[in-house]
Amino acid sequence: MPTVAVVVDTPQHSTVRGPLSYAADEALPAGALVQVPLGRRTVCGIVWPAGAEEEPGVELKPVAGVLRSLPPLPASWCRLVEFAAGYYQRSVGEVAHAALPAELRKLDDAQLAQRLKKLAKLAPAGGPAPQLPELTEEQVRALEALAQGGAPTALLHGSTGSGKTEVYLRAVAQALQAGRQALVLVPEINLTPQLEARFAERFPDRLIVSLHSGLTPAQRLRHWLAAHLGRADIVLGTRMAVFASLPRLGLVVVDEEHDPSYKSQEGARYSARDLAVYRGKLEGATVLLGSATPSLESWYQAQRGRYLKLSMPTRIGGGALPRVRLVDMNHVPKEAAFSHALSPPLMEALQQRLARGEQSLVLLNRRGYAPVLQCLECAWKSGCPHCSAWRVFHRSDRTLRCHHCGYTERVPRACPECGNPDIQPLGRGTERLEEQLAVSLPGARVARIDADTTRLKGTLESQLASVHAGEVDVLVGTQMVAKGHDFRRVTLVAAVNPDAALFSSDFRAGERLFALLMQAAGRAGRDAAQAGRSEMLIQTWHPTHPLYAALRAHDYEAFAAETLGEREMAGLPPHAHLALLRAEARTQEAAQAWLQDAARVADELGAAAAGVTLYPPVPMSIARVANVERAQMLLEAASRPALQRLLSAWLPELHGLRGAHKGLLRWAIDVDPLAI
DNA sequence: AGCACGCCGACT
DNA sequence: GTCGGCGTGCTC
């Protein structure tokens, strides 16, 4: 009787690591979906390419069912999953099953056959043949280089408004012409509808499907199947889509490749961008990473010639990038600087826009009315009882809300400690800024867009529409508004208080701030007629900071060179490779004790000799969330393979370490963490 | 993760 | 005397 290796869904801390062996009365192809008995239940499994697993010596249980109507998952898909599981130190089963639509696991063969029949209904949107815009010289050059590369990994560095999307569209057209499928990744669900519309218009006779967490389970299964069967030519999606099964994959586009959303923050903490690059190599597909402000990782690879570098510095239609003006807050009258957040130069610039009937965009990366309330009599502040964080004052519904655990209460009338009725907001969020602007600019129509105003489905779209319709003069928002949306009538973009990122303990904060401000600057002056009057205003206490100097010159390359130099000196990515071991426990001591024990095991495995440095365990910057204490330990190595080898030897040992530590709740490894 | 087995407090 | 609390342990 043939034996098959089957991968089942086992979480990280399970003792089941690799595939399990089952008996089958026929040879089953690798990649086939099966139902197998596991303990007392029957679960979905995937027949795995022969892992030469050793015989367990006991009699094997037989496979309980086979989904025959589903073509097996391609071998390259299995290899991608295996790589991801190994690299991010999770079980193959967990990664494989997370990559499949949940609905698929619930179906038997008959039900699946039913769903497959219904797939026939999916059809291209149809429509008139598209009008192709004339390509710029830069676009032509980029596309030629891409076509000559022989399935390269390319970094498309293009200014906002330089026409990156058109390059994506043409590259996709090339792939489709060659009979292959294209996968297009975007950082956020918000951005899929507009891109989907653009692709549907360009490819009216091709089937385009989307894959993201906003789909219903049935839709997700339908779209996944369309991709898997090769029916869909274009798959558009968020990071999860990097695992889509695509039998004819020829091109992967990663739009806004620098965006942190590509890194998963739970489960297997994979980077969809990095996996896209690996997948391209695996399947002989071209990978096109695009950004106006590439991640330093990608930029570094392009500089060393590992990636093909494509540059499009010029804005289409001759629109100039807005002039960047720094407002030195040290020279602003004290009362204005501290109490209003709105400096005289900013007010003047806003009034000018108002008088001319132009729009302004004011950025503040902090939701709510004020980040904390305080009592003027005693030392009380609005701390969260469950977290080591302040609760934010939301004036619209008179609540104190913890942004970490969600704990919400009505604002007390008086100080809960001393009864003093005089409790005051400290600092400023978008709600308060909106209020201040409305007061300071009488007659102006002020609107706000952030995670609070867009909680309901569809509100973002309707709010954006009202901005586009010219019903808003001043738009206040968090980084949400800086991403991807075009505001043709905006001629002023202002950052009210961006300095915090300059001195953040997070070494990537500067990189993120620069990308955000560059992107925000790109929102202004898209209309060539207005470009001359467009400007960006930065209120800062540190006007001589090199980040701002690079921003004024719209000089990404200068910023990248400067920052890469710092990273090299500090031994940080991309010049070094990091991993974080995180622990959650009832007490901070328990969390750190476990990490300490883990460090001892790593020492015994020869971490130091292998060139892997372990730093002492430290509490996380917000040490307690929802009454759970959190700590972490950083690992750093100059060599990625050395780090990988240590992790692979280390992780299995850590599973056995659990028992000795009371109070330890969870632990996890984050390879290539974004923030440390 | 499920879902067992397993050993100590308040109920028909 | 049982029902059930969730503390360890296993799943080919």
Q: What are the residues whose beta carbons fall under 8 Å from the beta carbon of A431, sequence distance 6 or more? A: A367, A368, A369, A394, A395, A396, A448, A452
**pLDDT above 80 for A340:** no
Instruction: Please report how the helices A137-148 and A164-177 are oriented relative to each other, as an axis angle in degrees rounded to 10.
Output: 40
Q: What is the pLDDT of residue A55?
A: 61
Rounded to whole angstroms, the distance from the CA of residue A274 to the C1' of nucleotide B1 is: 28
Spacing of C-alpha A519 from chain mean position: 16
Nucleotide whose C1' lies closest to the alpha carbon of residue A13: B1
Domain end position, chosen among A541, A566, A591: A566
Of the spans A106-110, A177-181, A451-455, A497-501, which averages the highest pLDDT?
A: A177-181
Pair A174, A85 in one domain: no
Pair A507, A641 in one domain: no
**Is residue A117 situated within a structural domain?**
no
Pair A156, A254 in one domain: yes
Which residues neighbour strand B (beta carbon < 7 Å)? A 10-15, 39-41
Number of domains, chain A: 4
**Beta strand A181-185 with A399-401: parallel, antiparallel or unpaired?**
unpaired
Pair A587, A551 in one domain: no
Which residues neighbour strand C (beta carbon < 7 Å)? A 10, 14-16, 20-22, 36-39, 53, 56, 58, 60-61, 659
**Is residue A417 situated within a structural domain?**
no
**pLDDT above 60 for A632:** yes
| Domain CATH for A609 | 3.30.70.600
Tokens of A487: 């505001």
Q: What is the pLDDT of residue A316?
A: 86
Rounded to whole angstroms, the distance from the CA of residue A317 to the C1' of nucleotide C1 is: 89
Nucleotide whose C1' lies closest to the alpha carbon of residue A59: C12
Q: Can you spell out the DSSP letters for A553-608?
A: TT-HHHHHHHHHHHHHHHT-TTSSEEEEEEEEESSHHHHHHHHHHHHHHHHHTTTT
Answer yes or no: pTM beyond 0.75: yes
Q: What is the pLDDT of residue A505?
A: 84
**Is residue A571 situated within a structural domain?**
no
Instruction: Please report how the helices A272-283 and A75-87 are oriented relative to each other, as an axis angle in degrees rounded to 10.
Output: 140
Q: Which residue is nearest to nucleotide C8 (CA to C1')?
A: A659
Q: What are the residues whose beta carbons fall under 8 Å from the beta carbon of A193, sequence distance 6 or more? A: A461
Pair A508, A547 in one domain: yes
Pair A143, A207 in one domain: yes
**pLDDT above 60 for A180:** yes
**Is residue A116 situated within a structural domain?**
no
**Is residue A143 situated within a structural domain?**
yes
Pair A233, A277 in one domain: yes
Q: What is the pLDDT of residue A14?
A: 67
The whole-number average pLDDT for the span A334-363 is 87
pLDDT in tens, A571-592: 999 999 999 999 988 889 889 9
**pLDDT above 80 for A78:** yes
Number of other CB atoms surrounding residue A311 within 10 Å? 17
Pair A504, A618 in one domain: no
**Beta strand A3-8 with A20-23: parallel, antiparallel or unpaired?**
antiparallel
Nucleotide whose C1' lies closest to the alpha carbon of residue A61: C12
**Residues paired with A42 in a beta bridge:** A37
Domain end position, chosen among A545, A566, A587: A566
- From CA A182, how far away is CA A142, in angstroms rounded? 18
pLDDT in tens, A408-421: 999 999 999 999 99
| Domain CATH for A62 | 3.40.1440.60
Pair A615, A598 in one domain: yes
pLDDT in tens, A41-61: 889 999 999 765 556 567 889
Pair A532, A582 in one domain: no
| Domain CATH for A201 | 3.40.50.300
Contact status, residue A404 vs residue A366, Cβ threshold 8 Å: no
Nucleotide whose C1' lies closest to the alpha carbon of residue A38: C11
Q: Which domain holds residue A332?
A: 321-369+428-566
Domain end position, chosen among A536, A566, A596: A566
Instruction: Name the residue with tokens 């925000």.
Output: A520
- From CA A114, how far away is CA A390, in angstroms rounded? 53
Pair A498, A593 in one domain: no
Number of other CB atoms surrounding residue A507 within 10 Å? 16
Q: What is the pLDDT of residue A486?
A: 77
**Is residue A378 situated within a structural domain?**
no
Residue with more model confidence, A315 or A54: A315
Pair A466, A326 in one domain: yes
**Is residue A113 situated within a structural domain?**
no
